[in-house]
Structure 1
Amino acid sequence: MQGLFFFLFMNSLSFLTTISTSTDTLTSSQILRTSQTLESSNETFVLGFIPGINLNNFYLAIWYKNSQDTVVWVANRDNPLQNNSTNDGFLKIGDNGNIVLLNSSSNNNLVWSSNQTTVTKNQLVLQLLDNGNLVLRETNVNDPTKYLWQSFDFPTDTLLPSMNLGWNFEKNTEKHLTSWKITGQNPSTGDYSYKIDFHGLPETFLVGSDRSLMYRGGPWNGETFSGLPEAKMQEDTDSIVFNFSWNEHGVYYSFSTINGSIYSRLVLNSYGQLQHFTWNQSTKTWSTKYLYVFLSDDCDQYRKCGPYSICGAHASPVCKCMKGFVPKNERTWNVNDFESDGCVRKTNLDCKSDEFYQMVNVKLPETTKTPVFVNTTMGIKECGDLCRRNCSCTGYANIFVTNGGSGCVMWFGELVDIINYTKGGQDLYIRQAYSKLGTPSSPEFGASSGIKWFQSPPNAVAGDRIVVLPAKLSVNHH
């Protein structure tokens, strides 16, 4: 029976033709062999096969034509085509409408498939677009919303302009970057992923291979993610536009180039670093616009200091309790074991007389695992009044720093993973028991982290309901 299937399959291949000239499209009647390529019409991107460390292993990949060692997407990253001769493997559009990569030297075993489930009887084509997106579509359909499958929905380690990362709430699908095992050498799944968590305020996370959270980038503040202030300082505002969209349909992060002729890419490398490269046409090389070295100091470690504490990269020790808090476990704290217990309040709150102090230049506390209230239109005064009236509210802040600040986020639990910066960051208002001593002394981490005090109004009441509001947001920055 297997022999009959193989005979029928090989007989069906006799009706297929290989592409003979450089083109951006593969039809249902054609196959793409390992020695052949597709090329986007603007001659920017190439689809073809690249060898692995083992030269008999091949991967279906997309790369830049002018920089052939710069691979931006790999289909079969964890299942290479084991190819003993130049033309043993081939790519085709299968009878069921899937893109399939087959190995003809081993009974045409399936190596990789697009696994798309939409069935159509219409003629299909596979096309490499000018933006680097490989799409499967019906022959006469050019509407991007009607593509049957596209590589942009399945990123590997690279984000290109017009790609996005994040969540589609309607389809319950997610897109993220995952590093190569060895950047530039082994494209199999690596140790790091860069993802967006949409619970609370959407935040970026660096995730390890064991799904452990290693670094939190903070929520989007209208300019950048609050835990990446260096991105705002180092970005090339003349050529790059960063976009963030957050509404009832989904949450996405992307970037675009003002000058469409500029080649630009964001890459998560095998060391867990997020690099932004731009092509230098004069030198024919890639230059790094900015580099996120996530784990460059102790404060980058996720939840390094535990609850109600602040991490300062240039302080000694790096972790200190917030004003009005003391180490929960003095013994472990004194041997620099900060993470396990963190800090606790020195004096219990009584709601009516509670005060709020303002911290500046900080990464806002985590919102994805702590109950929060989110409203994108409320101002900081209204936000503060609402927090004061709810005795469970532990802190509040503006969501956005643009145009003088706007939006409201309130926390109703422990405040964790706060970092103090010398520049950048945001203002955070912390609930504190009334201090008979008046205005406190200067903060622990430098003059830039100034503290201001605000007392609760006398009519503060307890028991307001905690609500996580759906937020509507679509912003860009350049």
Structure 2
Amino acid sequence: MRSVPNYHHPYTFLFFIFVFILFPAFSVSAKTLSSTESLTISSNKSIVSRNGTFELGFFTPGSSSRWYLGIWYKKISIRTYVWVANRDNPLSHPNGSLKISDNNLVIFDHSSNTPVWSTNLTVGTSKSQVVAELLDNGNFVLRDSNNNEYLWQSFDFPTDTLLPDMKLGWDKKTGLDRVLRSWKTLEDPSSGDFSTKLETRGFPEYYVFNRESIIYRSGPWIGNRFSCVPEMKPIDYMSYTFISTNEEVSYSYHMINTDVYTTLSLSSIGTIQRQTWIEPAHTWRQLWYQPKDICDNYEKCGNYCYCDSNTLPGCNCIRGFEQRNDQEWALRDDSAGCVRKTNLSCDGRDGFVVVKKMKLPDTAATVVDRGIGLKECEAKCLKDCNCTAYANTDIRDGGSGCVIWKGGLLDIRSYANGGQDLYVKLAAADLDVKITSHGGIIGSSIGVTIFLLITIIIFGYWKRKQKTAITIQTPSVDQVRSQDLLINQVVLTSERYISRENKTDDLELPLMEFEALAMATNRFSDANMLGQGGFGIVYKGVLPDGKEIAVKRLSKMSLQGTDEFKNEVRLIARLQHINLVRLLGCCIDKGEKMLIYEYLENLSLDSHLFDKIRRSTLNWQKRFDITNGIARGLLYLHQDSRFRIIHRDLKASNVLLDNNMTPKISDFGMARIFGRDETEANTRKVVGTYGYMAPEYAMDGIFSMKSDVFSFGVLLLEIITGKRSKGFYNSNRDLNLLGFVWRSWKEGKGIEIVDPIIIDSSSSALQTHEILRCIQIGLLCVQERAEDRPMMSTVMVMLGSETTTIPQPKRPGFCVGRSLPETESSSSTQRDDELSVNQITLSVIHAR
């Protein structure tokens, strides 16, 4: 039997008086809010769902003085907000309350006795009392106390998060169009620049907007997922629902296992992401996010053109189409797209080419008929002169339904796994092409092979006949020319066929003339110089059409030779990511080797971070955003790109910044490709930059993803402290920057190492906490033993979470450091930038 306290006992009574007088913030939870009750900030009361999963109450983000009414998960350790009521009308002081007034939920500011937020219901004439309740699924509802009819519900007004059973989309009955809108920043829940909306026209799909501009498109719902979210695979604990009728167009998901917590949210940087709570690790695990790479960007390539992150260039014309503007295409400006080689005849002679594993084109202006199959769809498209392509609306059970495009085909991309077949209409003259991209077939690749074999056999038979013939007849000039032409055609066709099969080994890159680059850079004048390093000089150039470029002219005495040059071209040309620099072309001319990059207005990170004037513009939020961008780029190299790539020279001067201060990793001259089953490799030529190299790499020539993680950790600590790792020295005689940070951290003085520009007495407690967490993450990355360092995927989780438990770091690696002053000898004959460790020559390349 449960014991019942004796409230009449004088000590018990005094105890409760003591609690309520001295601790007014003592939390009291309720299940509902009646019309005679109120929820005040000062009482610290809250409303909790019956199953204890969700809690509703007032909160302040960080140490802000602004107060909001919100809903968060109660059962998990990380405070995760899923809904905010007055996101754009916060209370400026803790003198407000939530109450039911005139059958409406209202937040009152008691200082001015005015409402700052309301449900704004006009049908407030219910005969019985109304009550507010937080349901088990996180839906906050206002209902009649005598029945379960909802007068209002928070699920109709989402903020940045879509919870299970919450709908995204349009409802004709209520006139609601439910959209997600991001928080402005991690600390500011007000409406941000990014929004997600389900487009109801044509073949429905959802878009992500940056204000009014589309930045990402999900592709249409194709039966079991959205077309361009291949990661959206069936999960045993969750099911999806998509409704498309005249009355409603919506998407939602339902939890089969209610013990699993998962959300779909729009972040403050514009990514739509699916996360699941992992209880043992006490963290949110990201299942997928979009946009992920450069091909996810809306209309990355123009009309009749698809993006492929594994090809060079990334934009490719659909078979039967050609580049609209060759000059712009050569410079990787693919926005002009492609045009037909041959106009359609519309007389029944036109046909179709199938391109496989594609993200379907933008579907806003399409015609959908779910009652017919693929053959009927083809016939319908052939009869319509305006029809340019068709596909199935549902890929399940072999495919069904019909969607027809009229006009251009925009925002297409290919997938290694995922997507679906798209049938594009071509003129009869262009149907002679045998092989389409991604396996699309008009004839057959087998047919090409058979043709080549037959031709070679005939040629061999003819040659043997020539040798064994008793009577030799001298062929005519025309016969010789015909035979040579046949041989050349066979050889050319074979080479093209073979090169198509081995295109990863011989990628092409636009070659530019030396004279054109000389003119663009004003004959490589000093006035155009952007920077100088061990490999050469980088110049700004302007092409005749006004396009700005950056030209890296390698020094003839540079340590980066032809092999490194080819390596950089081959590697970076294959990479497509928003946080990697874009290579436009190259030049090889009489000993000159040059790389042409996109021009980035804000130059390199080190030009801001270590400059007394520019560094003042780098507040903590900018530095944190730059850190996240670098981490995403490195994660792409290690995990998400087609090839696993180890950069080996990550440093501040190799991170470039665009006009929006978006970081882009550059300089892949020292990078190495890893196989998917490789974890580390060894080299006797250790080349890197002083202060950034991992101990195992500098000492033993062993490099891996963990050596890149070490470099990232050093870079993160530079971003926080504003101090260079290379050449670091302080009066406390620390070995290097890592030693300085480590000693301060161990002494509990971590905040003292932070760049004074980004932290002062006005800094919020949340910002200070975030900075200290980043110092801890940086120290984890630079631990001496490679196996102790986290992978970049783990680093991303730690950076993205405010309260995830982070392990305590161990001692960092100090294998290559600046000697202490008393041990330096003026008689030393060894150069500072050349070190020999364990018989390995270490060529240290100075920062550019």
Q: State the secondary structure of the residue aligned to 2:173.
A: coil
Q: How far did 1:436 drift?
A: 7.1
Name the residue aligned to 2:79.
69
Q: How far did 1:53 drift?
A: 4.2
- State how far apart, in whole Å, the 1-side matches of 2:266 and 2:343 are: 45
- State how far apart, in whole Å, the 1-side matches of 2:55 and 2:208 are: 30
Is the 2:156–2:176 Cα contact (8 Å) retained in structure 1?
no
Name the residue aligned to 2:341.
346
Q: How far did 1:303 drift?
A: 1.1
Is the 1:23–1:41 Cα contact (8 Å) retained in structure 2?
no
User: For 1:291-330, what aligned pairs fall within 5 Å after superposition?
Assistant: 291-294=288-291, 296-330=292-326
Name the residue aligned to 1:450.
440
Among all aligned residue pairs of Structure 1 and Structure 2, give the percentage whose two residues are the same amino acid. 45
Q: How far did 1:338 drift?
A: 1.6
User: For 1:54-203, what aligned pairs fall within 5 Å after superposition?
Assistant: 54-67=63-76, 69-83=79-93, 85=94, 88-95=95-102, 97-104=103-110, 106-122=111-127, 123-142=129-148, 146-183=149-186, 185-203=187-205
Could you tell me the TM-score, scaled by structure 1's length?
0.83
Is the 2:387–2:405 Cα contact (8 Å) retained in structure 1?
yes
Name the residue aligned to 1:204.
206
Q: Deviation digits for residues 40-96 of structure 1, max 9, x if unmatched? A: 11111111011134532111001111236111110011111111x5xx11110112x
**What letter matches 2:218 in structure 1?**
G
Residue segments in structure 1 that go unaligned for 5+ positions in a row: 1-18, 455-478
Q: State the secondary structure of the residue aligned to 2:417.
A: coil
Q: How far did 1:377 drift?
A: 2.0
- State how far apart, in whole Å, the 1-side matches of 2:34 and 2:357 are: 56
**What letter matches 2:323 in structure 1?**
P
Q: How far did 1:249 drift?
A: 1.2
Is the 1:242–1:254 Cα contact (8 Å) retained in structure 2?
yes
**What letter matches 1:364 in structure 2?**
L
Q: State the secondary structure of the residue aligned to 2:258.
A: coil
Name the residue aligned to 1:5.
none
- State how far apart, in whole Å, the 2-side matches of 1:230 and 1:62 are: 29
Name the residue aligned to 2:379.
385
Q: Deviation digits for residues 343-397 of structure 1, max 9, x if unmatched? A: 11111111221111111100111110x3x22111210011111111222211111
Find runs of 4+ consecutive structure 1 residues off by over 6 angstroms. Answer: none
Q: Deviation digits for residues 159-205 of structure 1, max 9, x if unmatched? A: 1111110111233321111111123x221112211211011100111
Given the alignment of the two structures, is residue 30 of structure 1 paired with residue 30 of structure 2, yes or no? Answer: no
Q: How far did 1:281 drift?
A: 3.5
**What letter matches 2:97 in structure 1?**
F
Q: Which structure has the larger Rg over C-alpha atoms?
A: 2
Is the 1:177–1:195 Cα contact (8 Å) retained in structure 2?
yes
Q: How far did 1:278 drift?
A: 2.2
Q: State the secondary structure of the residue aligned to 2:268.
A: coil
Given the alignment of the two structures, is residue 376 of structure 1 paired with residue 370 of structure 2, yes or no? Answer: yes
Q: How far did 1:20 drift?
A: 9.7
Q: How far did 1:157 drift?
A: 0.9
Name the residue aligned to 2:270.
272
**What letter matches 2:88 in structure 1?**
D
- State how far apart, in whole Å, the 1-side matches of 2:163 and 2:381 are: 41
Q: Deviation digits for residues 192-236 of structure 1, max 9, x if unmatched? A: 112110111001111112x1101111000112111111223xx5x
- State how far apart, in whole Å, the 2-side matches of 1:248 and 1:45 are: 34
Aligned Cα root-mean-square deviation (Å): 1.9
**Larger relative helix fraction:** 2
Name the residue aligned to 2:329.
333
The 3 A distance-change label for structure 1 pair 436 and 239 is closer
Is the 2:271–2:289 Cα contact (8 Å) retained in structure 1?
yes
Name the residue aligned to 2:402.
408
Higher RCO, 1 or 2 (CA under 8 Å, sep at least 6)?
A: 1
User: For 1:215-234, what aligned pairs fall within 5 Å after superposition?
Assistant: 215-232=216-233
Q: How far did 1:451 drift?
A: 2.7
Is the 2:342–2:429 Cα contact (8 Å) retained in structure 1?
no
- State how far apart, in whole Å, the 2-side matches of 1:442 and 1:453 are: 9
Is the 1:359–1:452 Cα contact (8 Å) retained in structure 2?
no
Instruction: Pick the aligned partner of 2:49 from 40, 46, 49.
Output: 40
Could you tell me the TM-score, scaled by structure 2's length?
0.47
